[in-house]
């Protein structure tokens, strides 16, 4: 890892906390963790490294220009990994405003301040600097049964969330082309793993199945996602930071396409074997098909040839091993789950529109 000081935005969220834990434990880098601590951000996700001497946390909105400027000028990072975002599609359907505020305008402020700081660096440090814009496969829209997204696929976002992320990607690319800021954009498929907020599909199904609550599957359960274990995503991001082409874009995917209904069935089978319950019975009987998400994208799938050849990355975790680790983690971290949901979310249905 050639970067000594890395600014991570959204470092108290699901993927951000995995990035921060990795940087602190496995590299010598100092991590500047900037997070607003929304309902989705929790220092409890960093409990074992929060006090580490190379972890510096600032509670701050990425749209707070004054604070962001001060962090750049005082702490002098050589890289930014920008993960802070409103990230839940269902919430974006119910209330898009914070998505535009953070994902679009917040990214704009961060780019502006990164550029201002970068322009003041010596030429050597300028060449080293990277701004990594972390994005999603959802910006490419919805696929039918065949084909995969490549880096050249047109942007066709269809939800307020994906539209706000697409807008942020366009800004980041524009700051490269227009001002020369060394930006790289990554687009990743659906992540899963420990510390994911319980509103998201896999942890929601795990927790409800453990408690014998209904398992709400949207529509007919046929929608397909390409699942990626979060630690594989972290490896990909750090690989791109080190070896990625400035101005480049990289698709990241687990190469593991599954229909939602099949994911739920696998979760049920794992929980039936790890935590059998005579009272609850077979978990598959808890599955309920419920009203579909408005505008629900049918299928996402990533062509990852470019990151494999240019960066030398490929996912290490299979869905079987990753899902098993994830189920085990939620089973033994119920206190974390209670804590992050408290007063904010009771696993109610979100995203039916306004």
Which residues sit at the interface with ligand NAD, rule CB under 6 A?
A: 9-10, 12-16, 35-38, 40-41, 61-63, 83-87, 102, 106, 134-136, 165, 188, 190-191, 197
Q: Minimal distance in Å, beta carbon 211 to ligand NAD?
A: 22
Among 198, 197, 192, 196, residue whose Cα is nearest residue 347: 198
Catalytic residue among 137, 151, 226, 235: 137
* Of 136 and 153, CB closest to ligand NAD: 136
Q: Minimal distance in Å, beta carbon 294 to ligand NAD?
A: 20
* Of 83 and 268, CB closest to ligand NAD: 83
161 is catalytic: yes
Q: Minimal distance in Å, beta carbon 80 to ligand NAD?
A: 13
137 is catalytic: yes
232 is catalytic: no
Catalytic residue among 35, 61, 138, 297: 138
State the Rg of the chain over Cα.
Answer: 20
Among 187, 191, 123, residue whose Cα is nearest residue 157: 187
Give the CA distances from residue 73 to residues 68, 107, 113, in Å, rounded to whole numbers and listed in that order. Answer: 9, 18, 10
* Of 14 and 149, CB closest to ligand NAD: 14
Classify 263 as helix, strand or coil: helix
Catalytic residue among 161, 192, 195, 300: 161
Count of beta carbons in the 10 Å neighbourhood of residue 126: 15
Q: Minimal distance in Å, beta carbon 139 to ligand NAD?
A: 9
* Of 108 and 117, CB closest to ligand NAD: 108
**Alpha-carbon distance 7 to 90, whole Å?**
29
* Of 19 and 286, CB closest to ligand NAD: 19
Q: Which residues contact 70 (CB under 8 A, 6 or more apart)?
A: none
Q: Minimal distance in Å, beta carbon 17 to ligand NAD?
A: 8
Give, as one character, the DSSP assignment of residue 4.
S
Q: Which residues contact 119 (CB under 8 A, 6 or more apart)?
A: none
Please give the positions annotated as active site: 137-138, 161
């Amino acid at each position: 890892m050639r970067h000594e000081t890395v600014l991570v935005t959204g470092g108290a969220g699901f993927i951000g906390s995995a990035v921060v834990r990795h940087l602190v434990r496995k590299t010598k880098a100092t991590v500047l963790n900037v997070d607003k601590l929304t309902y989705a951000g929790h220092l409890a996700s960093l409990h074992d490294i929060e006090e580490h001497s190379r972890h510096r946390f600032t509670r701050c909105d990425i749209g707070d220009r004054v604070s962001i400027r001060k962090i750049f000028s005082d702490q002098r990072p050589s890289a930014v990994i920008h993960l802070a975002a409103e990230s839940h599609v269902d919430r974006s359907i119910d209330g898009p405003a914070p998505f535009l505020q953070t994902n679009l305008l917040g990214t704009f402020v961060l780019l502006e301040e990164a550029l201002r700081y970068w322009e003041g660096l010596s030429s050597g440090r300028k060449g080293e600097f990277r701004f990594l814009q972390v994005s999603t496969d959802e910006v490419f829209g919805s696929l039918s049964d065949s084909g995969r997204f490549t880096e050249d696929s047109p942007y066709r976002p269809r939800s307020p969330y994906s539209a706000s992320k697409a807008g942020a990607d366009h800004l980041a690319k524009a700051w490269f082309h227009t001002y020369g800021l060394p930006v790289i954009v990554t687009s990743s498929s659906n992540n899963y793993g420990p510390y994911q907020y319980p509103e998201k599909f896999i942890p929601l199904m795990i927790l409800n199945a453990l408690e014998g609550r209904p398992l709400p599957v949207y529509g007919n359960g046929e929608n397909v996602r390409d699942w990626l274990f979060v630690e594989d995503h972290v490896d990909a991001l750090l690989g791109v930071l080190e070896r990625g082409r400035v101005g480049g874009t990289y698709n990241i995917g687990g190469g593991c396409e599954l229909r939602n209904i099949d994911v739920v069935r696998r979760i049920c089978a794992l929980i039936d074997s790890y935590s059998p319950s005579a009272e609850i019975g077979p978990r598959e009987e808890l599955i309920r098909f419920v009203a579909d998400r408005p505008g629900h994208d049918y299928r996402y799938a990533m062509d990852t040839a470019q990151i494999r050849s240019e960066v030398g990355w490929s996912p290490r975790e299979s869905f079987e091993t990753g899902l098993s680790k994830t189920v085990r983690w939620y089973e033994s971290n119920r206190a974390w789950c209670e804590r992050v949901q408290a007063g904010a979310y009771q696993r109610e249905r979100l995203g039916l529109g306004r």
